[in-house]
Amino acid sequence: MKVLNFLLGTTILTLSHCALAQENTEVEVMKTPLTWKQARLTDGGELFVELCGACHGKGGKGDGPVAAVLKTPVPDLTLLAANNEGIFPEEQIEDSIVGKSKVTSHGTIDMPVWGSAFEGVRPDWKPFHREAWARQRIHNLVEYISTIQE
């Protein structure tokens, strides 16, 4: 009997919610939700513009507004695969983002210029969750860079 009452109550709540949603014409409904891949690429693209665009440019060609004042020429990231026998060097790019490889313009290996953008965010989260979130964001950025290859 309790199960029947629960199901009946749930059904009534669902139907009333649907009726209210139909009455409210101001409710905006997303026509097509993003796929996981679209969401990753959107996040990666936003990170690229925010963290990399000043030097590498919005399109990754090395023509960002800061590039002209740097001592070291900024590489064209759209040619990474072309310069690597047609294979996108995913691991190498990830290493340069997280600071494992020495990229002088990115700062020391210990602390890349944007290292704190991925670490130390949401101090209220457990370290495992922050690390997983940081790894996902780095993956999103690397995946985005793979899509701008010529």
Could you report the per-residue pLDDT of 98-144, keeping only the tens digit for each? 877 766 666 655 445 555 567 666 777 787 787 888 888 989 999 99
pLDDT surpasses 80 at 74: yes
CATH of domain 34-147: 1.10.760
CA angle 65, 70, 72 (to 5 degrees): 125
Which tens digit of pLDDT belongs to each residue from 45-55? 999 999 899 99
**23 or 100, which is more confident?**
100
Percentage of the residues of the chain whose pLDDT score is greater than 70: 67
**The one-letter amino acid at 46:** E
The set of residues, in sequence order, having a beta carbon less than 8 Å from that of 47 and lying 6+ positions away, is 117, 137, 140, 141, 144
Is the pLDDT reported for residue 72 higher than 90? no
Question: Would you list the DSSP string of 91-128?
Answer: HHHHHHHHTSS--GGGB-SSSBTTHHHHSSS-TTS-HH
